[in-house]
Amino acid sequence: MRFYELFIAFRYIKANLKQSIIITTAVSIGVAIIIWIPSINLSFMDDLINRTVSSAPNITIQKELDTFETNKELFAEKFKGENLLLTDQVLTRKRKIKSSRRIIQQIKNIEQIEAIAPFAEGQALLIRGGEERGVTIKGIIPEELKIIDIEKDMVKGRIRNLTINDIVIGQTLANKLKVDMGKRVKATGVSGIPISLKVVGIFNTGLRAKDEYQAYVNLRTGQQLLNIKTDVSGIGVKVKDIYKADETADEIRTKTGLYVTSWMEDNKQILDQLNRFKLIILFINFLIVSSAATSITSVFIMLVAAKSKEIGILKSMGAENKSIMVIFLSQAVFLSFIGYFIGLLGAKLMIMGYSNLLESSGETMFSTQVPEFKINTAYAVLAFFYSIFTSILASILPSYQAAKLKPVEAINA
């Protein structure tokens, strides 16, 4: 590339300011959309996945539910000849794990496992004055805090070292029960025996389901409420790599023969939606690239037609076909650089504006907290290559046409 080629290219950009602005605008709009849409949606998805993973075990080990059909056969055999009313509600129940220590010993040496803790979880009713709320009670031990990262979400009090008289509830649940720190609530589980518990902590995970319907108690309290004595309803596991949870769950299933689920299975719908969204983004990007390329090509074709005499003069002075192409391609690359940085700035401003709009409402569809929106690096890099590639591709045909012009015909045109 020679100096005079760049000099002429910049002169053409300045002389044809209107066309230059059109090309830059086409590129910047494409860049802004390519960065903004994925950044917003992927920030939502990442925030939802992070909150989901941090507030629940990566892997849960349970015994399979006793099914209606299985128990119907057992009851019919045991009480043969007797008239029994067998209903789905009576015959379907959750089975308990009686030997959690043995199971923990079986799986603790699996490479991906970072922490293990048994729990007692089930439905209960919390009562405070005239307010009643159905919740999921989870009885935990201190090791549970290595599995769920709930401590960072505590807005009041503590969740560590819970005694048999303590309870920790979500912010939304506390508001609905009209209860605060140090106050007492009555909890009633399947045992039917009410237990008075003191609120020692309030958390806010940002997930509606957790903040309104989840409560934590000491493991012994949970066992008492659920009437399971010293048994547990499940074992929670944290893994080193959350995206290897499925593989680890399969390994645990093979070793124990129990019902094992991973967070990826439990949130399959969210992950499938994320994958579908990525395909939609690719399609949108294709439409943007096609539209921008068409606009740029049209502008350059008009520019070549307008500059045909100048091109003829340059060729008559000895300019090679290659030099003519370089002049027009240089314009495309330079304008694409400008368009990229304008588009990047535009995407940043759009993300900030969208974030401020959500903060004014204070919540989103799935969360009571607004995610931290930031530019997605991968799509910012993609947008850069898009801007360069689109501009060069769109200017190749007009540049080739310009290079093929014959000097005499071009001057006389």
| Euclidean distance between CA atoms 127 and 404, whole angstroms | 86
Domain ranges in the chain?
3-52+270-412, 94-257
End-to-end CA gap in the chain = 28
| Continuous segment of H or E residues that includes residue 389 | helix 377-403
Burial (CB count <10 Å: 0-12, 13-18, 19+), residue 238: buried
pLDDT tens readout for residues 336-347: 889 899 999 999
For 18, the token pair is 């209107």
pLDDT tens readout for residues 158-176: 999 899 999 999 999 999 9
Burial (CB count <10 Å: 0-12, 13-18, 19+), residue 262: buried
**pLDDT greater at residue 311 or residue 137:** 137
- Tell me which residue of 68, 63, 133, 64 sits closest to 99, measured CA to CA: 63
| Euclidean distance between CA atoms 220 and 239, whole angstroms | 26
Tell me, what's the pLDDT at 332? 82
Mean pLDDT of 303-307: 68
Q: Label residue 104 by pLDDT band (50, 70, 90).
A: very high
Tabulate helix, strand, coil % of the chain (nearest 5): 60, 20, 25
- Tell me which residue of 266, 259, 262, 269 sits closest to 243, measured CA to CA: 262
Q: Label residue 90 by pLDDT band (50, 70, 90).
A: very low
| Euclidean distance between CA atoms 300 and 396, whole angstroms | 9
Q: Label residue 68 by pLDDT band (50, 70, 90).
A: very low
- Region of poorest pLDDT, from 164-173, 190-199, 359-368: 359-368
CA 362 from centre of chain: 19
Q: Label residue 178 by pLDDT band (50, 70, 90).
A: very high
**pLDDT greater at residue 110 or residue 208:** 110
| Euclidean distance between CA atoms 162 and 136, whole angstroms | 17
Tell me, what's the pLDDT at 330? 84
**pLDDT greater at residue 302 or residue 216:** 216
Tell me, what's the pLDDT at 366? 53
Cα–Cα distances (Å) from 300 to 169, 337, 360, 399, in that order, read 65, 17, 45, 8
Tell me, what's the pLDDT at 363? 55
Q: Label residue 88 by pLDDT band (50, 70, 90).
A: very low
Helices (H), 245-267: 245-256, 263-266
Provide CB contacts within 8 A for 283, sequence distance 6+. none
0.85 exceeded by the pTM?
no
Burial (CB count <10 Å: 0-12, 13-18, 19+), residue 103: buried
| Euclidean distance between CA atoms 24 and 35, whole angstroms | 16
* HSE value, Cβ hemisphere, 13 Å, CA-based, for 156: 15
Q: Which of 72-86, 183-197, 304-318, 322-336 has the highest mean pLDDT?
A: 183-197
Q: Label residue 89 by pLDDT band (50, 70, 90).
A: very low
Task: Answer whether residue 152 shows pLDDT above 50.
Answer: yes
Mean pLDDT of 366-376: 72
Q: Label residue 406 by pLDDT band (50, 70, 90).
A: confident
- Beta-strand runs (E) in 74-204: 113-128, 131-140, 154-157, 166-170, 184-188, 195-203
Q: Label residue 82 by pLDDT band (50, 70, 90).
A: low
Provide CB contacts within 8 A for 309, sequence distance 6+. 410, 411, 413
| Euclidean distance between CA atoms 327 and 89, whole angstroms | 79
Beta bridge partners of 128: 131
For 396, the token pair is 């190749």
- Region of poorest pLDDT, from 104-113, 210-219, 290-299, 375-384: 290-299
